[in-house]
Structure 1
Amino acid sequence: MPYAAATRTSPEQHSRVVTNGRAAVACAGHAGVPAEVARHHEHTVTPGQCCSVMMRSIAAPAAAVWSLMRRFDQPQGYKRFIRGCHVVDGDGVEVGSVRELEVVTGLPAENSRERLEIRDDERRVISFRILGGEHRLANYRSVTTVHEAASQNGPLAMVVESYVVDVPQGNTVEETRIFVDTIVRCNLQSLERTVLRQQAMAAAPHNNHNHN
């Protein structure tokens, strides 16, 4: 069932739990997100790691948003920090596929090697894990889900993206979270702009026809 969507990207507050006798952090998703959605964003965070979850509503059908999100082989389709992507293992569709990314000049990173962990077209879930590369995101795992959201003003999609990552030596949990949240937020903003631009281009011939 659709649920009321937040109107902006926002970090999730986490609750502390105990897993197997050790302190950990559960990323359970935002209030209002159905259990079948939130379960995809549960992460066990060990000492020396941090996690966060962001969400953004986009005024477009979930299918249109997912059509971009699902392309493990073409993240540069909406992620502006990526200059190029090459699938080096698998077909870029099946779980286990590995991609190598080239990062744009000017960022504190050069490249990244990433493995596709989940891609579920029916539930619109995609997850990847960073295997290596020249960057600061060690042991990074991301999960993104796309859902129809309740709206009285036309189609509305909710994108929920969560992650867990090591805290680099010399950095605090808060510094790490701010750094990664900024990247995720920029990617979600770019995703929204890309989807809305595609929607406008698709509607343009129809609109022109009506004016003729």
Structure 2
Amino acid sequence: MRGTYAAKTEAILTQHHRREVSPNQCSSRLTQTIGAPMGLVWSMVRDFGQPQAYKRFVKNCLMRSGDGGVGSVREVRVVSGLPAGVSVERLERLDDDARVMSFSIIGGDHRLENYRSTTSVHEEDDLDHDHDHDHDRITEKRTVVIESYVVDVPSGSSEEDTCAFANTIIRCNLMSLARIAEKIAAGS
């Protein structure tokens, strides 16, 4: 089963998360497993107008144009303490069948130039767990979220520093998504 899972994962990465990276850019991919139903997680990720529902560094979001569909533009205000105040972002892709969302940063007062992100949501199959030490096998459905990006490396910065900054923000957002979705799924 693990071979099949690995093959499925590679197909997903090839289809949705492979990008050409030029010499002045960096790219990374992060993954988060969430103990909540895929439909719940996707409903949170796909809501372009409400990133603050799980993204901890977003203070608020104002839709500048569109209704949350492809081509919509949002203005995201970030919490104080980050080296930015506003990010203007356009939804490039929203595919409910494949559960893939992509957006680009098109403006703002930060150093993330030519930032393009893709997030995909998938069901993780065949996870076996022991139940109450009696070794009865149960199957639990979990969700895997993959987020990848490409961004220009600003002058005066290194590829490592640029990726470290972006990875930290994304990792925090994915962990927050997991906490919130798992809490909702548990009925708390």
TM-score normalized by the length of structure 1: 0.78
- For 1:4 and 1:182, how far apart are their aligned partners in 2? 27
Q: Is the Cα contact below 8 Å between 1:37 and 1:145 reproduced in 2?
A: no
Asked if 1:63 corresponds to 2:66, the answer is no
Structure 2 counterpart of 1:149, from 96, 114, 124 = 124
Structure 1 counterpart of 2:49, from 73, 96, 116 = 73
TM-score normalized by the length of structure 2: 0.88
Structure 2 counterpart of 1:46, from 2, 19, 22 = 22
Superposed CA offset, 1:161-211 (max 9, x none)? 00000001111111111111001100000000010111122xx6xxxxxxx
2:82 paired residue number: 107
Superposed CA offset, 1:136-175 (max 9, x none)? 2111000000001122341111100000000011111111
- For 2:108 and 2:183, how far apart are their aligned partners in 1? 32
Q: Is the Cα contact below 8 Å between 1:54 and 1:161 reproduced in 2?
A: yes
1:172 paired residue number: 158
> Residues 1-212 of structure 1 correspond to what in structure 2 (within 5 A)?
4=5, 33-92=9-68, 94-150=69-125, 151-152=127-128, 153-201=139-187
Q: Is the Cα contact below 8 Å between 1:98 and 1:113 reproduced in 2?
A: yes
Structure 1 residue 34, shift from structure 2 partner: 3.7
Aligned-partner residue type, residue 133 of structure 1:
G
Q: Is the Cα contact below 8 Å between 1:128 and 1:142 reproduced in 2?
A: yes
Q: Which runs of 5+ in 2 are unaligned?
A: 129-138
Q: Percent identity over the alignment? A: 51
CA change 1:38–1:62 in 2 (3 A) is farther
- For 1:186 and 1:154, how far apart are their aligned partners in 2? 25
Structure 1 runs of 4+ aligned residues shifted over 4 Å read 1-5
Q: Which has the higher contact order (CA 8 A, sep 6+)?
A: 2
- For 2:12 and 2:181, how far apart are their aligned partners in 1? 25
1:14 paired residue number: none
Aligned-partner residue type, residue 46 of structure 2:
R
Number of residue pairs matched? Answer: 176
Q: CA RMSD in A?
A: 1.9
- For 2:149 and 2:41, how far apart are their aligned partners in 1? 19
Name the structure where strand makes up a greater proportion of residues.
Answer: 2
- For 1:143 and 1:200, how far apart are their aligned partners in 2? 28
SS at match of 1:80: coil
